[in-house]
Amino acid sequence: MPLLDDIGIPLDDAELNRRSFLKLLGSGALAVAALGTAVTSVEYLSPNVLFEDETRFRIRRPEEIAVGTLIALPKQRVYVMRSQEGFIAFSTVCTHLGCMTKYEPENNRIFCPCHGSQYTIEGVVTAGPAPRPLPRFELVVDKGFLVVNTRKAVSQDTILRYSA
Ligand code: FES
């Protein structure tokens, strides 16, 4: 007669059941760990930022901006300037070593505090180590509003022609 465990299963079968149970438990734990790793990897590799929203944004209606006005948008790193001919949009990032420039209305210029580069309010270099003008971005009128796309650089002579 075989030896029984406390619930009446022969000890050999009970040992087998324990082993099966532990194998099943181990396999389940491995499967859960693998699934967790896979989910974490997918989350890590997918972008958390919607670049479209960060690079293309609405400013104001063109008729709301007077000739000679420079609008500084430091968060978006963009200046929008209205001249007699129309509008231009250009970067606030200094072309020397990448510092953020500042608009100084009292001096009617854009100034870089890092090494002293100076630009006109159209982004043209007038002094300092900056090697190039502040790069311009695509600017269009969309549904009645000025819309800048900082992902699209345009040539330095690009102007959105506009006359009120
Ligand atoms: S980073 Fe602007 S002058 Fe050097």
Phi first, then psi: what are they for 64, rounded to 5°?
-85, -5
Averaged confidence pLDDT in the chain: 86
Same domain, 115 and 139: yes
pTM over 0.75: no
Band of the pLDDT at 35, cuts 50, 70, 90? confident
pLDDT tens sequence across 43-70: 655 544 344 457 898 999 999 999 999 9
User: Strand 109-111's sheet: what is its strand order?
Assistant: 102-104, 109-111, 118-119, 125-127
Rg (CA), the chain: 32
Q: Does position 152 have pLDDT exceeding 50, yes or no?
A: yes
Q: How many degrees, rounded to 5, is the angle at CA 96 between CA 95 and CA 99?
A: 80
Same domain, 79 and 144: yes
Cβ 119 under 6 angstroms from ligand 1: no
Give the CATH number of the domain where residue 137 resides: 2.102.10.10
Ligand 1 atom index nearest CA of 116: 3
Candidate from 96, 109, 118 with most ligand 1 atoms within 8 A of CB, to mutate: 96
Domain that holds residue 11: 1-46
Q: Does position 147 have pLDDT exceeding 90, yes or no?
A: yes
Candidate from 111, 114, 118 with most ligand 1 atoms within 8 A of CB, to mutate: 114
pLDDT tens sequence across 17-33: 777 778 888 888 888 88
Cβ 59 under 6 angstroms from ligand 1: no
